[in-house]
């Protein structure tokens, strides 16, 4: 049996206000327009056909102003890593 694991890491500037929904699924406190924008971003990554993906926030990450965030308008963001993994098993 052969197991092949492929992974890819992409860095994104993600708004601090969006992380609770992305990481924990907590939409509370977000306006409808922001929920829709975050969901569109999540759907975009889900369509990349990775079997598994998650957002990782480094322990030393601090919010910083970003004029081109991954979601929405300029705001305080954190540089996060999107880790995508695919596993292929051949017998």
Q: Which residues of 49-78 are buried (b: 16+ CB within 10 A; e: fewer)?
A: ebeebebeeeeebeeeebeebbbbeebebb
Is the whole model's pTM more than 0.85, yes or no?
Answer: no
Query: Structural domain of residue 8, as residue ranges?
Result: 2-90
User: What is the Cα–Cα distance from 18 to 91, expressed in whole angstroms?
Assistant: 42
- Position 67 scores a pLDDT of 97
Contact 10, 41 (CB under 8 A): no
Per-residue pLDDT tens for 58-68? 898 899 999 99
User: What is the Cα–Cα distance from 1 to 39, expressed in whole angstroms?
Assistant: 38
User: What is the Cα–Cα distance from 65 to 50, expressed in whole angstroms?
Assistant: 30
Per-residue pLDDT tens for 12-70? 999 999 999 999 999 999 999 999 999 999 888 887 666 788 898 989 889 999 999 99
- Structural domain tally of the chain? 1
């Amino acid at each position: 049996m052969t197991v092949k694991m492929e992974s890819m890491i992409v860095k994104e500037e993600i708004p601090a206000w969006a992380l609770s929904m992305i990481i924990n699924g907590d939409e509370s406190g977000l306006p409808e327009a922001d929920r829709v924008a975050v969901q569109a971003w999540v759907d975009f990554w889900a369509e990349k056909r990775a079997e598994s993906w998650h957002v990782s926030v480094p322990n030393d990450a601090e919010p910083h102003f970003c004029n081109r965030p991954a979601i929405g308008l300029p705001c305080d963001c954190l540089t996060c890593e999107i880790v995508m993994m695919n596993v292929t098993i051949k017998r």
